């Protein structure tokens, strides 16, 4: 018939209706999808090993109603050893079986897999509840491997009445893109951090391995004592060297054997560099350089001594300069 109408009371059996007539009627003003309450209606969760669980909830497909009363477990096929795949958990209306079931559509193995296409024809109509990423060699499905597709209108969506379906696809896609980018970046940063920390730990452990052998406490105590003795020796040597250098400078100055050359004059009229040269051959004996802070209150003076060639550095001493409230130099240590 070109024009059909329903529903009317039957007179002597002249009005008889089938289930698909009622489904067509309800589908005209109730959209496909899952019912929004509770919020985890038909949501897919990890369970153990390769098993996932679909939470209780209700769904609606082309005028037909489905209810999942309890947690519904689905076990995915084992992962491949070389390639990945994406399985899709679907709510499937099967017209031939006259039933709506929750099933797994197994994906195709690939290095960069895609989820299986939903079937939507005269034989069946499917809604995607979630996509599950099955990585190569995986033995367990984690929640991070499960992409919730319930709010994606193109794949599932929320049941609405006479009002058109609210389009949540855009916001869902934005969230998915952000989530993928963020988790990928974070995973990469964590992996790099782990490699760096491991390398530093291995280097440190090799350096102390001999110390930790045997009596750990005794070895550590002996090591600390050795370091303290070495430090004391170096401090004593440095003090002697500093005294000798200062004595040498004083003797040279007193003997009038050094000439003084000032350079790098700042806006306050202070020469930042003072060079001491041997008069005998004009080679550099020492150089004093002011730095840090602002003129005229520089905070650092670096004094460098040179060997007889005037080029090779013999020693370097860095002094910290301190000033009082009037800006006068009060200490140089």
Query: DSSP for 166-185?
Result: P--HHHHHHHHHHHHHHHHH
In tens, the pLDDT along 125-142 reads 999 999 999 999 999 999
Neighbours of 156 (CB within 10 A): 26
Across residues 167-186, what is the average pLDDT? Answer: 68
* pLDDT at residue number 53: 95
* pLDDT at residue number 255: 47
Across residues 253-258, what is the average pLDDT? Answer: 61
Residue-averaged pLDDT of the chain: 80
Across residues 230-242, what is the average pLDDT? Answer: 71
Banded pLDDT at 88 (limits 50, 70, 90): very high
Among residues 151, 167, 183, the one where a domain terminates is: 167
In a domain, 162, yes or no: yes
Residue 305 has pLDDT above 50, yes or no: yes
- CATH number for 272: 2.40.128
- CATH number for 154: 2.60.520
- Packing angle between helix 169-212 and helix 216-254, nearest 10 degrees? 90
Banded pLDDT at 124 (limits 50, 70, 90): very high
For 326, which DSSP code? T
* pLDDT at residue number 218: 67
In a domain, 128, yes or no: yes
Range of the domain at 105: 19-167
Sorted by sequence, the CB contacts under 8 Å of residue 92 that are 6+ apart come out as 100, 101, 102, 103, 119, 124, 125, 126, 127
Phi, psi for residue 20 in degrees, rounded to 5: -65, -25
How many domains does the structure of the chain reveal? Answer: 2
Residue 246 has pLDDT above 70, yes or no: no
* pLDDT at residue number 46: 92
């Amino acid at each position: 018939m070109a024009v059909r109408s329903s529903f009317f009371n039957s007179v002597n059996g002249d009005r008889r209706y089938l289930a698909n007539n009622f489904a067509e009627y309800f589908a005209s003003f109730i959209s496909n999808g899952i019912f929004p309450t509770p919020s985890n209606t038909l949501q897919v969760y990890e369970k153990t090993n390769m098993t996932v669980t679909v939470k209780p909830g209700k769904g609606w497909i082309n005028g037909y109603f489905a209810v999942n009363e309890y947690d519904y477990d689905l076990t995915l096929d084992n992962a491949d050893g070389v390639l990945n795949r994406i399985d899709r958990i679907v709510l499937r209306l099967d017209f031939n079986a006259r039933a709506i079931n929750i099933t797994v559509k197994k994906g195709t193995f690939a290095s960069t897999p895609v989820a299986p296409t939903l079937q939507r024809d005269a034989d069946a109509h499917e809604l995607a509840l979630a996509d599950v990423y099955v990585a190569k060699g995986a033995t367990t499905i984690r929640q991070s491997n499960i992409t919730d597709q319930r709010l994606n209108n193109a794949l599932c969506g929320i049941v609405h009445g006479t009002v058109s379906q609210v389009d949540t696809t855009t916001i869902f896609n934005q969230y998915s893109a952000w989530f993928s980018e963020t988790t990928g970046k974070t995973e990469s940063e964590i992996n790099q951090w782990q490699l760096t920390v491991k390398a530093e730990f291995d280097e440190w452990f090799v350096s102390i391995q001999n110390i930790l052998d045997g009596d750990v406490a005794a070895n550590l105590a002996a090591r600390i004592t050795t370091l303290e003795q070495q430090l004391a020796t170096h401090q004593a040597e440095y003090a002697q060297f500093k005294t000798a250098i200062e004595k040498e400078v004083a003797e040279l100055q007193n003997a009038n054997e050094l000439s003084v050359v000032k350079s790098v004059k700042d806006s306050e009229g202070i020469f930042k560099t003072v060079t001491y040269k041997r008069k005998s051959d004009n080679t550099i004996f020492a150089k004093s350089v002011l730095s840090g802070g602002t003129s005229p209150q520089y905070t650092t003076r670096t004094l460098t001594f040179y060997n007889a060639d005037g080029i090779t550095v013999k020693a370097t001493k860095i002094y910290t300069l301190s000033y009082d409230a009037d800006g006068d130099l009060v200490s140089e240590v």
